[in-house]
Amino acid sequence: MTASASQGASSISSSSIKRDASEMNNMVTMTTRLDANATVRGRRRPPLSRRQRGNLSTLLSRRSPFSNETGSLAIGEFEPSAAPSVDGVARSSLRDARILVVGAGGLGCEILKDLAMCDGIFVDIVVMDLDTIDVTNLNRQFLFRSKDVGDSKAAVAAKFINQRCPWMNVVPYHGKIQDKDASFYRQFKVVISGLDNVEARSITSENPIPTLLLPNRWLNGMINNLVEFDDDGDPLPETIIPLIDGGTEGFSGQSRLILPRITSCFECSLDAFAPSAAVPLCTIAETPRIPEHCIAYAYVLQWPREFPDRKLDADSSGDMKWVYERALERAEKFGIGGVTYMLTLGVVKNIIPAVASTNAIVSAVCVNEAMKALSFCSQSLNTYMMYMGSEGIYSHTFVYEQKQNCPVCTTTTHHMSVSSIMTLNSLLQQLCDGEFRLKAPSVTSSMKTLYMRKPVALEKVTRVNLDKPLKDLMTSGEELVVTDPVFPDTSLRLVVKFTDVDE
């Protein structure tokens, strides 16, 4: 089976793995069919006609009783565009809107296809991805073929779309989102993020804050940062770039609309990514209820007892068979069914299957929101849509509230009370472990640089401060400015008060 490796085993269920397999078979058939359509006797087929790809101009050229201004998140007024021009495509202002698609993986492929199928309304696209194509991507990332394995996802995806849909102009960028600065991001009218959250959410006990979550946080920080304010402190509408964030995990997915400084942002919901997936060890040891608990028992507790000097190798079939057999024994003892070798692999390797249909649903919602955010032709999503497809089909929409003191989308000063003898290093550690979940903070006071990670020379000079108590570096109630790679071009204002000092 093909799946993306990830942590967070508790979200796996044996049924989802089985269903994934049949899903994949369908997908393979579908991909083959698409391929067959693309060429007729070696010759490329002509592009799809407008009738084949639907007609969104109808929607955009007529008045609507459900336009954006009648919705609960009213952000703009819908103005039906003029009648279709000579080439049959409405000369909507949307055609000039440059769109950024972040990620050309499972979601990215779907998003690009959906944009291309929007009746020629979106043509100017930039797609970014730092990954290359792996053979395991081919079952669902349908813009790629076996000959493309090893090539840049962004480049191949862009080429495929441009060839198949000549009205499209997709420009690839193979690299990290962090390579680009504010001036790059400012050129877009909307950003759709389809980062593979499966991997992005990988959480381990050693690393409770997934590093791969970093791109999502960074992008969110950047887009929020681009907002400029008028004299009254209100955000200037033309500087607000809607960020539409999609994510999938097996049969579940979500899509959300982030209007920087208006709605909640990605950082506001960071708590939702807390490592809550862990099953208490006592449950595993004493009261297993589901097959996953039995498997966890075998590899977390039994393996080290049996092989104290050898680490379990999840890629060794011998090791995995051992775990599977022990898990099966335990499951039988407790009358629990459902332990399979596949599930054992899934739990130990923390595999969450990537499901093509979930990607299709989530990306369709994303592109739908992009069209609404640009044209205001219908009510925007307010603000979060979740989809669950593991047991039936269920979706739900709710307003994700803005976090009162979100360091990204609010401009509050944060307060911390600590002991004056706490070292600077401990304070920085607290910023990493605590609610801010920083990665590599640097800190300055109004008077001097306390600790700076870059450049190397400055790091060397300021390193001595790390072991000093705070009272030697600052006064109680002083405002510190904290910068961190998760917040591009922005800083956290932090007032630190000493609990043991009278002012």
The 8-class DSSP code of residue 83 comes to P
Piece in contact with Zn ion (CB under 5 A), picked from 20-28, 65-73, 127-135, 261-269:
261-269
Is 245 a binding residue for Zn ion by CB under 5 A? The answer is no
Stretch that binds Zn ion, among 60-68, 225-233, 239-247, 401-409 (CB under 5 A): 401-409
By beta-carbon proximity to Zn ion, the closer residue of 113 and 437 is 437
d(CA 208, CA 437): 10
Binding mask 332-371 for Zn ion (x = CB under 5 A): ----------------------------------------
Instruction: Point out which span in 153-161, 228-236, 258-266, 434-442 binds Zn ion (CB under 5 A).
Output: 258-266
| DSSP 3-state percent helix, strand, coil across the chain (nearest 5) | 40, 15, 45
Where does this chain touch Zn ion (CB under 5 A) — which range of 266-274, 301-309, 417-425, 485-493? 266-274
∠ Cα 176 179 185 (to 5°) = 100
Strands lying side by side in the sheet with 124-129:
169-174, 124-129, 99-102, 190-193, 243-249, 252-258, 384-388, 394-398
Cα distances (angstroms) measured from residue 184 to each of 99, 127, 177, 240: 12, 13, 10, 15
Least distance from Zn ion to the Cβ atom of residue 57, Å = 36
Rounded CA gap, 47 and 44, in Å?
A: 9
- Report the nearest approach of Zn ion to the CB of residue 159 (Å): 36
CA distances from 295 to 7, 12, 19, 224, 314 (A): 15, 12, 20, 43, 13
Which CB sits closer to Zn ion, 350 or 383? Answer: 383
351 bridge partner residues: 5
Q: Which of 17, 406, 438, 482 binds Zn ion (CB under 5 A)?
A: 406
C-alpha atoms less than 13 angstroms from C-alpha of 340 in its C-beta half-sphere:
11
Q: Which C-beta is closer to Zn ion: that of 136 or that of 490?
A: 490
In the beta sheet, which residues pair with residue 416? 496
Taking the complex as a whole, how short is the minimal distance between the CB of residue 427 and Zn ion, in angstroms?
A: 23
Work out which of 117, 177, 268, 443 binds Zn ion, going by CB under 5 A: 268
Instruction: Please check whether residue 248 is in contact with residue 6, taking contact to mean a CB–CB distance below 8 angstroms.
Output: no
Task: Supply the minimum distance, in Å, between the C-beta of residue 403 and Zn ion.
Answer: 5
Nearer to Zn ion, 220 or 442 (CB): 220
Least distance in angstroms from the C-beta of 84 to Zn ion: 40
- Say whether 265 is catalytic: no
Q: Does 267 bind Zn ion (CB under 5 A)?
A: yes
Rg (CA), the chain: 26
Min dist CB 404 to Zn ion, Å, is 10
Residue from 123, 265, 296, 450 in contact with Zn ion (CB under 5 A): 265
Are 297 and 284 in contact, with CB atoms under 8 Å apart?
A: yes
Beta-strand relationship, 99-102 and 124-129 = parallel
Cα-based torsion angle of the residue sequence 256, 20, 327, 7 in order, rounded to the nearest 10 degrees: -30
Q: Is 259 in the site for Zn ion (CB under 5 A)?
A: no
> 3-class secondary structure for 426-462?
HHHHHHHHCCCCCCCCEEECCCCEEECCCCHHHHHHH
Determine the 3-state secondary structure of 78 from DSSP.
Answer: coil
- Please give the Cα distance from 290 to 284 (Å, whole number): 10
Nearer to Zn ion, 229 or 307 (CB): 229
Residue in 409, 424, 431, 480 binding Zn ion, rule: CB under 5 A: 409
Q: Which is nearer to Zn ion, 336 or 406 (CB)?
A: 406
Task: For the CB of residue 491, give the shortest distance to Zn ion in the complex, in Å.
Answer: 15
State the pairing for strand pair 43-44/394-398.
Answer: unpaired
Which of 282, 377, 409, 432 is the catalytic position? 282
Task: Please identify, using beta-carbon distances, which residue of 108 and 221 lies nearer to Zn ion.
Answer: 221
Torsions phi, psi of 228, nearest 5? Answer: -110, 160
Q: Which residue number, 221 or 253, has a Cβ lying nearer to Zn ion?
A: 221
Task: Give the whole-angstrom CA distance, residue 440 versus residue 57.
Answer: 48
How many residues interact with Zn ion (rule CB under 5 A)? 6
- Nearest residue to Zn ion by CB is 406
Q: Is 187 exposed, middle or buried (0-12, 13-18, 19+ CB in 10 A)?
A: exposed
Query: In whole angstroms, how close is the CB of 61 to Zn ion at the nearest point?
Result: 36
Stretches 60-68, 121-129, 405-413, 438-446: which one binds Zn ion (CB under 5 A)?
A: 405-413
Whole-number Cα distances in Å, 141 to 118, 129, 192, 277, 289: 19, 13, 17, 28, 36
Residues 436-475 that bind Zn ion (CB under 5 A): none
Single out the segment in contact with Zn ion by CB under 5 A; choices: 68-76, 257-265, 288-296, 387-395: 257-265
Q: Which stretch binds Zn ion (CB under 5 A): 128-136, 154-162, 253-261, 264-272?
A: 264-272
Q: Which is nearer to Zn ion, 378 or 380 (CB)?
A: 380
Residues contributing to the site for Zn ion (CB under 5 A): 265, 267-268, 406, 408-409
Residues tagged active-site: 282
